[in-house]
A and B are shown apart, each in its own frame.
Chain A
Amino acid sequence: MKRTNELHGVGAIFNTPNEIIKAAEAVSGKGYKSFDVHTPYPVHGMDNAMQLKPSKLGFITLGAGLTGTTLALSLMYFTMSVSYPMNIGGKPFFALPAFIPVTFELTVLLATLSTVIGMIAFFFKFPANSHPLHDTAYMKACSADKYGVYIEATDEKFNEAEVKALLKSLHPASVEDIFTVQPESYPVLTAKFATLLLVVVVIVAGGTYGILNKALYTVPFDWMLKQGKLNPQGNHVMFADGYGMRPPVEGTVANGYIPYEFASLKKEQPANPLVNPLIANAEVLKLGKKKFLTYCSPCHGNYGEGDSRLGIDALKGLSLHSDKVRKWQDGNIYHVISVGQNNMPGYATQLTRNERWSVILYIRALQIAKNASETDIKEVGSNGK
Chain B
Amino acid sequence: MDVDYSKELPVVEGRLTLAQIEALVAKPMDSKPDRKFFMALSITLTLLLIGVGSLGASFYYGIGLWGNNQPVGWAMPIVNFVFWVGIGHAGTLISAILFLFRQKWRTGIARFAEAMTIFAVMTALVFPLIHTGRPWLGGYLIPYPNQHSLWVNFTSPLLWDVFAVSTYFTVSLVFWYVGLIPDFATLRDRTSSKLKKVIYSIFSLGWRHSHRNWQHYEKAYMLLAGFATPLVLSVHTIVSFDFAVSILPGWHTTIFPPYFVAGAIFSGFAMVVTVLIFVRKIFDLQEIITIDHLEKMNKIIMATGMMVGYAYGMEFFIAWYSGSPVETFVFINRAFGPYAWAYWIMVSCNVIFPQFFWVKKIRRSIPIMFVIVILVNVGMWFERFVITVTSLSRDFLPSSWGYYKPTMVDFGILLGSFGLFFTLVLLFTKAMPVVSISEVKAVADDAQPSHHGGDH
Give chain A's interface residues, CB within 8 Å of chain B: 16-18, 20-21, 24, 36-50, 52, 55, 57-58, 61, 75-76, 79-80, 83-84, 86, 88-89, 91, 95, 98-99, 101-102, 104-106, 108-109, 111-113, 115-116, 119-120, 123-124, 126-131, 133-134, 139-140, 142-145, 219-221, 223
| Residues of chain A within 8 A of B15, CB atoms compared | none
Per-residue CB proximity of B330-355 to A under 8 Å, as 1/0?
A: 00000000000000000000000000
B189–A128 CB distance below 8 A:
no
A40–B441 CB distance below 8 A:
yes
| Residues of chain B within 8 A of A36, CB atoms compared | 208, 210-212
A131–B134 CB distance below 8 A:
no
A57–B219 CB distance below 8 A:
yes
Stretch from B5-13, B42-50, B162-170, B298-306 that touches the partner: B162-170
- Closest B residue by C-beta to A139: B189
Given contact pairs A40-B438, A45-B452, enumerate 4 new A-B contacts (beta carbons under 8 Å).
A39-B211, A40-B186, A108-B227, A119-B220
Closest beta carbon of chain B to A91's beta carbon, Å: 6
A112 to B167, CA, bound (A): 10
A113–B209 CB distance below 8 A:
no
| Residues of chain A within 8 A of B217, CB atoms compared | 42, 119
- Closest A residue by C-beta to B438: A41
A134–B208 CB distance below 8 A:
yes
Closest beta carbon of chain A to B450's beta carbon, Å: 6
A48–B455 CB distance below 8 A:
yes
Q: Number of B residues whose C-beta is below 8 Å from A?
A: 78
- Closest B residue by C-beta to A42: B214
Stretch from B117-125, B147-155, B270-278, B358-366 that touches the partner: B147-155
Closest beta carbon of chain A to B267's beta carbon, Å: 23
* CB-contact partner of B456 in A16, A45, A102, A128, under 8 A: A45
B455–A145 CB distance below 8 A:
no
- B230 contacts A by Cβ under 8 Å: yes
B163–A143 CB distance below 8 A:
no
- B431 contacts A by Cβ under 8 Å: no
Best-buried of B202, B205, B223, B455 by chain A (most CB within 10 Å): B223
B447–A143 CB distance below 8 A:
no
| Residues of chain B within 8 A of A130, CB atoms compared | 206
- Closest B residue by C-beta to A18: B449
Per-residue CB proximity of B442-453 to A under 8 Å, as 1/0?
A: 100011111111
Closest beta carbon of chain B to A23's beta carbon, Å: 11
A18–B234 CB distance below 8 A:
no
| Residues of chain A within 8 A of B59, CB atoms compared | 220
A221 to B137, CA, bound (A): 10
* CB-contact partner of A41 in B153, B156, B447, B449, under 8 A: B447
A106–B155 CB distance below 8 A:
no
B154–A116 CB distance below 8 A:
no
- Closest A residue by C-beta to B18: A145
